[in-house]
A and B are shown apart, each in its own frame.
Chain A
């Protein structure tokens, strides 16, 4: 199996402002969000990053997407270094996170075309893909409705579709079902399975055990910015993922 994504020893430190120090009740000026994280994802698999809030999942994904730069380490995505050529990486990945918003004023139809153009997709391909995606996600009848007037679920679907206008081979999803109703959430998880069927590699972060068990081939458990476990999801039939997680979490807490 080909390694499509290789994360090597990523480190990311944030400086805490006075206000943040107060909130976290600490005098420490620096916070290590990601501490020497490494993992690989193979072509065609869904890799889950599991961890509690604040464990460093989102920070890791943002570094993979080239939005922020690691202090140390690198990520090689489809043989391109995120540090050396982030713009090229952007053409190879699709990145979906709640931080990335679509402009309220425009319609899904316009935004799809706009991002297709920025990705240099030729018009015919963009058009046929747009029709297919809009139909699949039920965006069709809302295609000329301004984003501002769409429901949360519909917005999320449009964001999802637009994050993959360029049909990337690697798709990074940060908490893809967060804040969605059960029906929209199912549409999204079904779509992730479709993408896997189509041979795409998917990295997703979540704190929902069932989502990992249902979707992921392999899982990495992150606690306090460190990878404490990596393995196949169905490796150990005697212990559930939840039991495994809490065992690791408690042993990590006792180390501190």
Chain B
């Protein structure tokens, strides 16, 4: 690499990494993502969660002795209070969330159930009073509802589905569940992080310098326009990667909170990360090149940003194509830049890597970058573009 390219890279990096305000704008998204997602995770946990050592308060009326075993089958602690009838006081307690459930069996419930015939009219009744605004009450309602339903089903037992409690009938491994989750989410978020990172730095470094008249100062040095283009693109790609890495770290750190600790990354080895990194770099280069061209065309940072918005939307649409969680298998599709990146990333994360598709992706992306650098060089050479006031 020529000395000028390195000089320009060093200057760009210094511009972005020594300026506290720039640094904040680069790293802030990651911090915001972490705080926001952790907060969302905490909130959902609080909304549906119940403390492990919670003791459920249940009032039971007319309990048949045969059904008393329900209380023992629960995996949590239940404190049962037996009463002769439903009182307004207990209903008020339930309303005020001081107890969790009232179970009312009609008298001689068990016998009536055994003797019941469909032609007898109304079936024996059991009433479950609960308070749906209290998680604990909803939980215990669900538990007894199921227990009583199961009891009803055992009365007319003809067949059993998945009877053995010791057998894991769902054969999805924990890795598979994680992979499914990660492949449906990560490519989209990655693309969005990379694009928005590239958008702000390219606009600042190219449209901004043009707007402030500092680009012209660079143009009258003996530096070749191709060296300027290359230096800018390499430096901006590094900065974009750092900014995306910050967002990505924020996301990964908040994932366990967001998903309730069910996500594992253990299935990914060094190879996966290395391949992922290569695809990401080729994608970042494309973004930076495209956004640099837009920024070179624009008269100001503002114009560059608004010109980039439609592209941002297209990029998000392409990113959404990964939500299917499966990589496209048609070879031709890998000739479409960006789309091929999404599909390759999805493939890599699903641990179903197709080397031919991956190679095509990287070659196509680098080809686009090469053409883009040539285009950008041409633009830097054009007085109409560089001095359009």
Distance of A110 Cα from B11 Cα, bound (Å): 9
In the complex, residue of chain B having the shortest beta-carbon distance to the beta carbon of A66: B220
Task: Tell me if A184 counts as interface (CB < 8 A to partner B).
Answer: no
Is B7 touching A118 in the complex (CB atoms < 8 A)? Answer: yes
In the complex, residue of chain A having the shortest beta-carbon distance to the beta carbon of B19: A105
Q: Which of these, B11, B222, B387, contacts A90 with CB under 8 Å?
A: B222
Task: Tell me if B173 counts as interface (CB < 8 A to partner A).
Answer: no
Q: Which of A95-103, A189-197, A204-212 contacts B (4 or more CB under 8 A)?
A: A95-103
Distance of A55 Cα from B383 Cα, bound (Å): 20
Task: Tell me if A68 counts as interface (CB < 8 A to partner B).
Answer: yes
Known: A99-B216, A101-B214. A67 touches B222 (CB 8 A): no
Task: Tell me if B221 counts as interface (CB < 8 A to partner A).
Answer: yes
Distance of A106 Cα from B12 Cα, bound (Å): 11
Is A68 touching B217 in the complex (CB atoms < 8 A)? Answer: no
From 107 to 140 in chain A, residues with beta carbon under 8 angstroms from any chain B beta carbon are 110, 114-115, 117-120
> Nearest chain B CB to A239's CB is how many angstroms away?
37
Task: Tell me if B212 counts as interface (CB < 8 A to partner A).
Answer: yes
Q: Which of these, B8, B15, B221, contacts A119 with CB under 8 Å?
A: B221
Task: Tell me if B219 counts as interface (CB < 8 A to partner A).
Answer: yes
Q: Which of these, A100, A101, A105, A118, contacts B15 with CB under 8 Å?
A: A105
Is B222 touching A68 in the complex (CB atoms < 8 A)? Answer: no
> Nearest chain A CB to B349's CB is how many angstroms away?
39
Is B213 touching A101 in the complex (CB atoms < 8 A)? Answer: yes
Known: A103-B15, A118-B4. A67 touches B220 (CB 8 A): yes
Task: Tell me if A69 counts as interface (CB < 8 A to partner B).
Answer: yes
Known: A87-B224, A114-B11. A67 touches B219 (CB 8 A): yes
Known: A105-B15, A118-B7. A65 touches B221 (CB 8 A): no
Distance of A99 Cα from B215 Cα, bound (Å): 10
Known: A114-B7, A117-B3. A101 touches B212 (CB 8 A): yes
In the complex, residue of chain B having the shortest beta-carbon distance to the beta carbon of A98: B213
Task: Tell me if B209 counts as interface (CB < 8 A to partner A).
Answer: yes
Known: A90-B222, A105-B19, A118-B7. A67 touches B209 (CB 8 A): no
Task: Tell me if B223 counts as interface (CB < 8 A to partner A).
Answer: yes
> Nearest chain B CB to A235's CB is how many angstroms away?
33
Q: Which of these, B7, B8, B19, B213, contacts A100 with CB under 8 Å?
A: B213
Distance of A88 Cα from B222 Cα, bound (Å): 6
Is B213 touching A99 in the complex (CB atoms < 8 A)? Answer: yes
> Nearest chain A CB to B24's CB is how many angstroms away?
14
Chain A binding site: helix, strand, loop or mixed by DSSP?
A: loop
Task: Tell me if A91 counts as interface (CB < 8 A to partner B).
Answer: yes
Chain B binding site: helix, strand, loop or mixed by DSSP?
A: helix
Distance of A87 Cα from B225 Cα, bound (Å): 9
> Nearest chain A CB to B220's CB is how many angstroms away?
5
In the complex, residue of chain B having the shortest beta-carbon distance to the beta carbon of A88: B222
Task: Tell me if A104 counts as interface (CB < 8 A to partner B).
Answer: yes
Is A117 touching B7 in the complex (CB atoms < 8 A)? Answer: yes
In the complex, residue of chain B having the shortest beta-carbon distance to the beta carbon of A87: B222
Instruction: Mark interface residues in B199-237 (1 if CB within 8 Å of A CB, else 0).
Output: 000000000010011101111111110000000000000
Please indicate the chain B residues that have their CB under 8 angstroms from the CB of A114 in the complex: 7, 11
Please indicate the chain B residues that have their CB under 8 angstroms from the CB of A88 in the complex: 222
> Nearest chain A CB to B78's CB is how many angstroms away?
67
Please indicate the chain B residues that have their CB under 8 angstroms from the CB of A68 in the complex: 383, 387
> Nearest chain B CB to A137's CB is how many angstroms away?
18
In the complex, residue of chain A having the shortest beta-carbon distance to the beta carbon of B218: A118
From 1 to 54 in chain B, residues with beta carbon under 8 angstroms from any chain A beta carbon are 3-4, 7-8, 11, 14-15, 19
Distance of A106 Cα from B223 Cα, bound (Å): 20
In the complex, residue of chain A having the shortest beta-carbon distance to the beta carbon of B228: A118
Please indicate the chain A residues that have their CB under 8 angstroms from the CB of B4 in the complex: 118
From 178 to 231 in chain A, residues with beta carbon under 8 angstroms from any chain B beta carbon are none
Q: Which of these, A99, A105, A115, contacts B221 with CB under 8 Å?
A: A115
From 63 to 105 in chain A, residues with beta carbon under 8 angstroms from any chain B beta carbon are 65-69, 87-88, 90-91, 95, 99-105
16 contacts across the A-B interface (CB closer than 8 A): A67-B216, A67-B219, A67-B387, A68-B387, A87-B222, A88-B222, A90-B220, A90-B222, A95-B220, A101-B212, A103-B15, A104-B212, A105-B15, A110-B14, A118-B7, A120-B222
* Chain B interfacial positions (CB closer than 8 Å to A): 3-4, 7-8, 11, 14-15, 19, 209, 212-214, 216-224, 383, 387
Given contact pairs A69-B383, A103-B214, A120-B3, a sample of 13 additional A-B residue pairs in the complex whose CB atoms are under 8 Å apart: A65-B220, A67-B383, A68-B383, A100-B220, A101-B212, A101-B216, A102-B217, A103-B212, A105-B15, A114-B11, A117-B7, A118-B4, A118-B8
In order of increasing CB-CB distance, the 10 nearest A-B pairs are: A101-B213, A91-B222, A68-B383, A100-B217, A118-B221, A90-B222, A117-B7, A103-B214, A87-B222, A101-B214
* Chain A interfacial positions (CB closer than 8 Å to B): 65-69, 87-88, 90-91, 95, 99-106, 110, 114-115, 117-120
